[in-house]
Structure 1
Amino acid sequence: MSSFQNDTAHFAGLTEKQTATARLLAEGFTAKEIAARLTISESAATKRIEALRQKFGGITKNELARLAREEFSGSPSSHTVKVFEKNRDFSRAPDGEKLTWKNFDLPNTDGFRNSMPRNRPETELNFSDGFTLDATPPWRARREERLVPEVLDGEHAAPARWAYVVGAAIGMAILLLVLLAVADALGNLA
């Protein structure tokens, strides 16, 4: 539990930089926005806020913002005695004492046990398109007449291709020999 009796004395003892930081904090700016307004780094703004929190007895950032708001707005409640307790129940506090944030509790896990699981079994999943397209994708082969016979593209394609290559090589060799024989015969005529 930390307490202090005179808020004005605490705010009066602040430096000029701390006062500027407290004023911006009272207006609801984040540490990043305070840093941008004061043209300092975000870590420097965070250090200033932490120093202010420690100077006020380790209160939370929200409590510090509320105190600064009361001090700089000139409301009469800023000169009263303040006592801050770590585990205070703010739900029963008067309206002026309530914090600006709310504490949201998570529901019990018992309520989730009876509900449907988030991930359904694979047998229940049904993936489908919203509509069908009749376009042929660019990576799919076009449906044209086959230029390669089925024997070269079927079950025994590799041996058939080797046989075709060997046959073509033998055919070229025979053609070359025939052409050489014709050239030799033409050479003997003259």
Structure 2
Amino acid sequence: MINNILFATDLGPFTDYTLQHVTELAKNCNASIVVVHAVEPLSSFAQAVVETYLEDPQDNPFGESGSSGMLTNIKHKILEALADQYMESDKDIARIAAIRVLQGKPAEIILRESREQQADLIVMGSHGAQALDGNVIGSVTSKVLQLSKVPVYMVPMMDPQKLHGRTGNLGGATLR
């Protein structure tokens, strides 16, 4: 029985397509949804570049205090976008039990959250936003498929040709 679905998203151009599957599964199973978005930490080089251009090191948006504020902001944007653009009704929104925005490597975050949230099913796309390079599946999806202890429902990436002319927005990411 599926009671708790973990929806892993990179907030890329295929989010709405994958979310259609998540929403229908949740309706059919009367399940709740936990949305998980992983934010990869900056490399030490990137962090050094940011700090070089800051007048006051206390203003670093990626430092200890800025990082938590950034993650909270992303979480609010996700909820707003889901409510405004991607979910059809208040009943769909009510199915969202939690939105987890966490810093770390995406596959590790997804696998850890599936355990902690006691997910019965993980739903994710076959590719991330940047994976229009012809690979069969993306590296994060591949790792989750190999290591998950619960079933993974992988939504195939839409043909990029079909996206031509579509526009939309999720948390600042524009579909084109």
Fold shared, TM-score > 0.5 on shorter chain: no
Answer 1 or 2: higher relative contact order, Cα 8 Å, separation at least 6. 2
Q: Higher strand share goes to which structure?
A: 2
Where is the helix percentage greater, Structure 1 or Structure 2? 1
TM-score of the superposed pair, with normalisation by structure 2: 0.19
